Amino acid sequence: MERDIFDIMDERSRRVLNAVVSSYIDRPDPVGSRFVTRKYAFGFSPATIRNIMSDLEEMGFLKQPHTSAGRVPTDKGYRFYVDSLPEAGEAGCAPEVTPEFVAQFSLRLDAFKNDITAMCSEVTNTLSSLSNCVSIVLPPKAGITTFNRIDLIKYRGDQIVAILITDEGIIRNKVLQSDPSVTQEDLTRLAGFLNAEFAGHSLDEVNKQLIKRLKREKAQWDKLIEQAISIYEQAMASSQDDIFVSGLYDVMSLPDFSDITRIKELSRAIKEKQEIIKLLAELSKTDGVQVVIGSENPVDGLKGLSVVTSVYKEGDRPMGIIALIGPTRMDYGKTIIMVETIAKCVSRTFDD
């Protein structure tokens, strides 16, 4: 971000730029100087507004799609606008997330507090319907969730079913390969060992403790712990890259998505998902609402879109992240409030 240009921009230019961006967000038509003069009581003449807009175009904040048309914001213009908004917590309230809505939504989340899958689905469906954008939730990372129990069931000759349950309500089912000589009695013994030794520990702690045990105990427990580590690692590898997505159909109704190519790019990015997961994981390292605009996106399929995210927590511990993906012409003020409010509701559910 070119802070030096932002800092030297005079107050008149700041006001005109924010007016153009706000007008274009409200209505996706190029904004002209006469429109700005009529709509905003700046006390400037149309000629003055026109000159300011011309200067803003030269600085890269606005662009002119056609010679005789008005101007529209660039990604740099949107970035200035977003950075000019009040802090998310001081920005008031979006009409969609009234105190009554928050109370009702929190009650719905309470009903799912022991079922992370259902909770994440509820969050994505709610956010996409409120915003007409694509909503994404990254569930809690497996490593930071708390081991409750594991059940191991003999399935076929060389296969077993592992059912891993955490205190947060995450349930993972996976069919694993195993030694054909392993019996159900062996599996029950392995599961009993894991459950007795590690219930109440984070999954990362379980991993570390298993490895320590294997190094320390070289007698009768060696084979048991070796088998436990093998089965546990396979079970943990099942759903590390889960994401919950909703709203692709909703976003198609926006005028910004009249070009089918953009929908295809977004669909491909969601389907392949690894780059989106990497982006969200990076954004989850920072507290507060994060906004990535257009060309700032490292994900090719999101270059023409904006992403607004917020981390949800259990106490001070980050658990996962909530995101909205929409056009660069999104209503950032409202979107930021929505994402922050929903993230706080989810965090309260973990704290209860």
- Per-residue pLDDT, 216: 62
* CATH of 88-141+242-351 among 3.40.50.2020, 3.40.50.720, 1.20.1250.20, 3.30.450.40: 3.30.450.40
The domains of the chain are located at 3-84, 88-141+242-351, 143-236
At 15-51, the pLDDT tens digits run: 999 999 999 999 989 999 889 998 987 888 889 999 9
Q: Of the segments 34-48, 92-106, 149-163, which one has the largest average pLDDT value?
A: 34-48
Q: Which residue has the tokens 């599961």?
A: 191
Assigned fold of 143-236: Enolase-like; domain 1 (3.30.390)
End-to-end alpha carbon distance in the chain: 40
Tell me the pairing of strands 134-138 and 72-73: unpaired
Lookup: tokens for 284 = 């989850």
Q: How confident is the model at residue 108 (pLDDT cuts 50, 70, 90)?
A: very high
Calculate the average pLDDT of the chain.
82
Q: Phi and psi (nearest 5°) for 22?
A: -60, -40
Q: How confident is the model at residue 1 (pLDDT cuts 50, 70, 90)?
A: very low
Q: Phi and psi (nearest 5°) for 321?
A: -140, 145
- Per-residue pLDDT, 215: 60
Range 3-84 has CATH code 3.40.50.80: no
* 65, 69, 75, 79 alpha-carbon torsion, rounded to 10°: 180
Q: How confident is the model at residue 198 (pLDDT cuts 50, 70, 90)?
A: confident
Q: What is the mean pLDDT of residues 83-89?
A: 72
Distances (CA, A) of 240 to 1, 83, 236, 237, 274: 33, 34, 7, 6, 11
Q: How confident is the model at residue 95 (pLDDT cuts 50, 70, 90)?
A: confident
At 277-328, the pLDDT tens digits run: 889 888 888 888 999 999 999 988 888 899 999 999 888 878 889 999 999 9
Does the structure show a pLDDT above 60 at 61? yes
Lookup: tokens for 292 = 């990535």
Q: How confident is the model at residue 93 (pLDDT cuts 50, 70, 90)?
A: low
- Per-residue pLDDT, 90: 44
Contacts 24+ apart (CB under 8 A), 194-199: 194/147, 194/149, 194/150, 194/228, 194/232, 195/149, 195/150, 198/147, 199/147, 199/148, 199/149
Q: What is the mean pLDDT of residues 70-82?
A: 94
> How many Cβ atoms sit within 10 Å of the Cβ of residue 165?
17
* 261, 267, 270, 272 alpha-carbon torsion, rounded to 10°: -80
